[in-house]
Amino acid sequence: MDHVSAFLTHQRQYAAVGQFVSSFEWCCWKLRHYSCAILQAKGLTDFSLAEVIFNQRVFTAEPLFSCFASMAAQSSGQDKVLIQQLDALRSKFSKLVKARNDLLHGTYMLGIHENGEPTEMLIEKYTPDKFGTRTIEVISSEKMMADLLREAEEIKSEISSVFTTVWTLIRPKSSA
């Protein structure tokens, strides 16, 4: 393989990581935006005040999801179907958060072998435990990275779907 092809493979691998990070951050944006919308539907007249709250540094992904889920459940009158949707989504999102954290704090073994061939995508995370340092394989192939991106895209869609359910339950009903 020539150096140009190897370089393009390397760039594609980094691009896949960037696409995942972007998709994950869109999930977080939706959680913020929909949380603000729930507050507005329940009487908040200044949307930007809610944005001030939900854009604080303390609202990392999991606390943000927890707040969104609690507000969605509370504002919908504890709708059982919605709570089941939220629980399923919480489990998926929690796994995605762990994958994202491992990915971003991992060590990237990307590049080109001495023979000019591109290396397979490998991202590892080193973590101490009671026996010493342990290596966790975060991503071991471009396919694995593509699967993680697909999962993030599905979760992003599910967040929108859950919000649509919430909105249907809480929006003011027009009198006919």
Q: Would you list the domain boundaries of the chain?
A: 3-93+144-170
How large a percentage of the chain has pLDDT more than 70? 90
- Which pTM was predicted? 0.87
Which band of pLDDT confidence, cut at 50, 70 and 90, is reported for residue 116? low
Residue 11 reports pLDDT greater than 90: no
Segment 78-91 shows an average pLDDT of 94
Tokens coding 38: 């729930």
Residue 121 reports pLDDT greater than 90: no
Segment 110-134 shows an average pLDDT of 77
Segment 25-50 shows an average pLDDT of 95
- Please tell me the distance from the alpha carbon of residue 138 to that of residue 123, in angstroms, as a whole number: 5
Residue 113 reports pLDDT greater than 80: no
Per-residue pLDDT tens digits for 137-154: 888 888 999 999 999 999
| Residues 109, 120 contacting (CB under 8 angstroms) | no
Which band of pLDDT confidence, cut at 50, 70 and 90, is reported for residue 108? confident
